[in-house]
Amino acid sequence: MKIEKEGKDGAVVVRIAGRIDTTGSSEVSDAIKEIIESGEKKIVVNFSQVEYISSSGLRVFISALKQLKNTGGSLILCDLKPFVYEVFDLAGFTRIFVICDTVEEALKA
């Protein structure tokens, strides 16, 4: 699992590479929690290198979305591979999250 963070156009872009499963979800959760606690309001998560996401991974993003909404912030997901998108869709999360095709599109959202 590799997580990179970069400030860009008033947001923090988080690039995740690897599997967001039971083991990886805690790393992702810690990284996003750190960003939120630093006062950032807009987080864009780039899924272009995410191969797999489990239910524990989905919980990380639901939790982050709730935290950000409570502070007037937003969490935008982008560049989901078909399998990862399907997991979000089957869970009904494609109606809850803003999902964009590219990082650039997400930054404008």
Task: Average pLDDT across each block of 10 residues of the chain; the chain has 109 residues. List them in order.
Answer: 94 97 95 96 97 96 96 97 96 97 96
With a CB cutoff of 8 Å and minimum separation 6, the contacts of 70 are: none
Total tally of structural domains belonging to the chain: 1
- CATH code (residue 44): 3.30.750.24
Torsion sign, CA atoms 19, 84, 73, 67: negative
User: What is the pLDDT at residue 10?
Assistant: 92
Predicted pLDDT of residue 31:
97
pLDDT given for residue 58 in this prediction? 97
Which domain range does residue 77 map to?
2-108
